[in-house]
Structure formats: structure tokens, C-alpha cells
């Protein structure tokens, strides 16, 4: 996957230096395969529900993308329902079910569930009744990966899709959902995947598109890009791209850990996404760190992109037992396939420079 579209520059002491994008868990650069597929789909004029030749051509693109997403998810034989994103897919799967969840889940899940599942200090969640529960595959803030129990009702697969090797057909869960823009595809498109024959009531009703699961004319361009991105992501995963990313993440973690004695590296002893580093420095506000790094030419975040800017302590870290001082000082650095070792070492140099100033003031 190419991130060349993010090769933009920042004026730094009269020298032009490229900005470094380290917020891939929020959204990823559009990969070349997705861009090409979207350009091609723009020239397909037909409505996918029309029966004439133009409509059939549009329908063929959607069904090709459905097969690509299913193959990347390891969901051959399952049903793929395209939506406007993971948030809509979550509501389609969860509305009216009153499932048990945990406080580490994304807000799109917590809007429909009860925070009744216990979270331990490592971020792992215990599930006693899988059929009545939802559990994410991986956390967007900490990167902590869960073991999904057999028979689980619903899982947020969004952050793990394309980064972790798994197959929906092997997980033994009823439903899962994903988003295109978290793995090289366009924003505004996602999917719900479910075992064939699963009973599900449509939330958007009208023309009966998507096998009656989700009405509305399909986002042909976005779906085509999603399919191409899913296929490219599956190939990159098989080629070991994320193993290389993990090595670079660990280099960054070691560089920071060697000096930042006041900083907590969240989830360090748990299985994590290969690209994610969550670090919390008590008393050093996360929003301050984000702004300082932005000015230095680095894009990072304070927790989930959907909650960044709300100036609140991380609910995920608080659910793990950290106090507000720690939770309000947590930032997330998330790498991508194009992140280089020199990028993270530059980040470490810039962050540690500001860390020293904070530590000196706090002493």
C-alpha cells in the first residue's frame, strides 16, 4: 500500500522536511489499488439495481468487491452487507439486542450495549456468556488484542482487519463489522459480515438493496475501492508487511522507554496490534503532546479519532484501572506499511525533547 499522497512538507528552521503521518489507526492513506478501482468505477454510469446492461455492469463491480472483501475476511460463504462505515454496521448488528460489552469498546458499540464485562489491567476482557456479548478483536487506542470466544454474538473487527491473520469462518462468531478507511480504502464505506441465514432486521428500509438488509443505492465508487483495498491488504499481510511494521514499532518503543522514566507503555506485556504504541505520561496532557508533535511535523492522536478533541481522559485506560492523571496523558502512535525506521527515530527525538522539558518542570 502506498502512502505517497501523504508526502507533504513542513517548514522547520528554514529547512523543508516531510511531515510524518503516525495516525494510521484513525485513518489510512488511500492505497493505489483502491484509487485505481475508484477511478474506474466513476465511469460506470448504471444504477446497480437496474436490469439493463449499464445496471448489470455496476452490479458486477459490487459483487466483485463483495467477493474481495469476503476473501480478505476469510468469510467465503458468509453474507457481506455493505454500509456507510463501521458505525452503521455496528448499529445494524447491535440495535435492540441489549448485549453485554466492555468500557474498552468503541463508542459506536457502547451506544448499543451494557458496560458489564470486566476489563483487567492489561486490557483483556472476560466473557462468560458469548452468545449475549460483543467483544472487539483489537483496541484502537492500546492495540490490545482479544481472544474471541466461540459463539460470540458480535465483534468489532475493524482494527484487526488487514493487520492480523484471522478468518471469520474460523472465529465461530455470529457477526462482525469492518471499515474500509482503516485498511487502505476510502472513507464512508464499511461492511457487516455474518453467518449465512442469520436473522437480522434492516434499519434502513426502502428499496431492499443489500439482500434486504440495508436499503439505499449502493456507494458504487466507495465499494469498488473497498474491495480493491481489501485484496491488497490481504496480500500485504500474507507477505509479512506487518511483521516489519512491528519491528519498527518496537524500535520506537525502546528508544522512548530508555529515557522516559515517568511514562507508562500501555499494553506492553499483552498481545498488541503490530503498529500501535500507547504511552501515558501522568500530568502531561495528551492534547498538549498532540499539538507539540503537530508543530514538530508529526501526526499522532490522543486516543480514538472519534473522541479526540473532546479534551477528556481516555475511558479505555480508566477501564483498565488507570487513574485520571494517567488516562489524560495518554497518546497513541500508530504506524503504517510505509512508516520507516528513520521516521520513528525522528519522532522519538522530537517527543523526548519535549518530554525533557516536561520532566524538568515537574521535578
> Does one domain contain both 157 and 15?
no
Given a cut of 50, is residue 359 above it in pLDDT? yes
- Average pLDDT over every residue of 263-273: 95
> Does one domain contain both 149 and 246?
no
- Average pLDDT over every residue of 134-160: 98
Task: Say what the pLDDT of residue 201 is.
Answer: 80
CATH number at residue 281: 3.90.1150.10
Given a cut of 80, is residue 45 above it in pLDDT? yes
> Does one domain contain both 298 and 327?
yes
Residue labelled with grid coordinates 499539538: 291
The reported pTM is 0.92
User: Residue 187 and residue 176: Cα distance in Å, rounded?
Assistant: 19
- Residue 306 annotated among the catalytic residues of the structure: yes
Name the domain count of the chain. Answer: 2
Given a cut of 70, is residue 145 above it in pLDDT? yes
Residue range of the domain that includes 24: 4-30+240-362
Task: Say what the pLDDT of residue 6 is.
Answer: 44
> Does one domain contain both 88 and 140?
yes
Instruction: Name the pLDDT band for 286 (thresholds 50, 70, 90).
Output: very high
What are the C-alpha distances in Å from 35 to residues 162, 166, 184? Answer: 17, 26, 9
User: Residue 260 and residue 243: Cα distance in Å, rounded?
Assistant: 26
Task: Say what the pLDDT of residue 217 is.
Answer: 82
Q: What percent of the chain has pLDDT over 90?
A: 84
> Does one domain contain both 249 and 316?
yes
* Domain final residue, candidates 219, 238, 257: 238
> Does one domain contain both 234 and 245?
no
- Average pLDDT over every residue of 239-256: 98
Reference 320, options 124, 81, 42, 38; nearest CA is: 124
Task: Say what the pLDDT of residue 155 is.
Answer: 98
Task: Say what the pLDDT of residue 311 is.
Answer: 56
CB atoms within 10 A of CB 215: 14
DSSP code for 30: P
- Average pLDDT over every residue of 84-102: 96
* Domain final residue, candidates 210, 238, 266: 238
Given a cut of 90, is residue 75 above it in pLDDT? yes
Identify the residue with better confidence: 112 or 212.
112
SS3 at position 193: strand
Segment among 33-42, 208-217, 234-243, 343-352 with least mean pLDDT:
208-217
Task: Say what the pLDDT of residue 13 is.
Answer: 47
| Residue 152, C-beta contacts closer than 8 angstroms, at least 6 positions apart | 127, 130, 131, 133, 134, 135, 171, 172, 173, 174
Task: Say what the pLDDT of residue 362 is.
Answer: 86
> Does one domain contain both 185 and 291?
no
Given a cut of 90, is residue 8 above it in pLDDT? no
CATH number at residue 134: 3.40.640.10
Task: Say what the pLDDT of residue 204 is.
Answer: 73
Given a cut of 60, is residue 354 above it in pLDDT? yes
User: Residue 319 and residue 306: Cα distance in Å, rounded?
Assistant: 18
> Does one domain contain both 10 and 144?
no
Identify the residue with better confidence: 209 or 146.
146
Helices 220-238 and 241-257: crossing angle, nearest 10°?
Answer: 80
> Does one domain contain both 215 and 91?
yes
Instruction: Name the pLDDT band for 214 (thresholds 50, 70, 90).
Output: confident
- Average pLDDT over every residue of 132-151: 98
Q: What percent of the chain has pLDDT over 70?
A: 92
Task: Say what the pLDDT of residue 234 is.
Answer: 98
Reference 194, options 176, 207, 209, 214; nearest CA is: 176
* Domain final residue, candidates 188, 216, 238: 238
Reference 121, options 331, 318, 324; nearest CA is: 318
User: Residue 262 and residue 192: Cα distance in Å, rounded?
Assistant: 42
> Does one domain contain both 63 and 191?
yes
Amino acid at each position: 500500500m502506498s502512502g505517497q499522497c501523504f508526502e507533504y512538507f513542513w517548514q522547520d528552521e528554514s529547512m523543508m522536511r516531510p511531515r510524518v503521518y503516525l495516525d494510521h489507526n484513525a485513518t489510512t492513506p488511500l492505497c493505489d489499488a483502491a484509487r485505481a478501482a475508484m477511478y474506474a468505477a466513476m465511469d460506470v454510469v448504471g444504477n446497480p439495481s437496474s436490469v439493463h446492461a449499464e445496471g448489470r455492469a455496476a452490479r458486477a463491480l459490487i459483487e466483485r468487491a463483495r467477493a474481495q472483501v469476503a476473501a480478505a475476511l476469510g468469510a467465503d460463504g458468509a453474507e457481506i452487507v455493505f454500509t456507510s462505515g463501521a458505525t452503521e454496521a455496528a448499529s445494524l448488528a447491535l440495535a435492540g439486542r441489549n448485549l453485554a460489552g466492555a468500557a474498552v469498546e468503541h463508542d459506536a458499540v457502547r451506544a448499543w450495549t451494557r458496560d458489564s464485562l470486566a476489563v483487567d489491567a492489561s486490557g483483556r476482557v472476560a466473557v462468560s456468556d458469548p452468545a449475549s456479548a460483543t467483544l472487539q478483536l483489537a483496541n484502537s487506542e492500546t492495540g490490545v488484542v482479544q481472544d474471541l470466544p466461540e459463539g460470540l454474538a458480535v465483534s468489532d473487527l475493524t482494527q484487526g482487519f488487514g493487520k492480523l491473520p484471522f478468518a471469520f469462518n474460523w472465529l465461530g462468531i455470529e457477526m462482525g463489522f469492518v471499515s474500509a478507511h482503516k485498511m487502505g480504502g476510502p472513507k464512508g464505506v464499511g461492511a457487516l459480515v455474518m453467518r449465512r441465514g442469520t436473522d437480522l432486521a434492516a434499519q434502513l428500509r426502502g428499496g431492499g438493496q443489500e439482500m434486504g438488509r440495508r436499503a439505499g443505492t449502493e456507494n458504487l465508487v466507495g465499494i469498488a475501492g473497498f474491495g480493491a483495498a481489501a485484496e491488497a491488504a490481504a496480500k500485504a499481510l500474507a507477505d509479512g508487511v506487518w511483521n516489519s511494521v512491528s519491528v519498527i514499532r518496537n524500535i520506537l518503543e525502546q528508544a522512548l522507554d530508555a529515557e522516559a522514566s515517568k511514562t507508562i507503555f500501555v499494553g506492553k506485556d499483552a498481545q498488541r496490534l503490530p503498529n500501535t504504541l500507547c504511552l501515558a505520561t501522568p500530568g502531561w496532557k495528551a492534547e498538549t503532546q498532540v499539538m507539540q508533535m503537530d508543530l514538530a511535523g508529526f501526526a499522532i492522536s490522543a486516543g480514538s479519532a472519534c473522541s479526540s478533541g473532546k479534551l477528556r481522559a481516555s475511558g479505555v485506560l480508566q477501564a483498565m484501572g488507570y487513574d485520571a492523571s494517567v488516562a489524560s496523558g495518554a497518546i497513541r502512535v500508530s504506524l503504517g506499511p510505509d512508516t520507516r525506521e528513520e521516521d520513528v527515530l525522528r519522532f522519538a527525538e522530537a517527543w523526548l525533547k519535549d518530554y525533557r522539558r516536561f520532566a524538568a518542570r515537574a521535578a
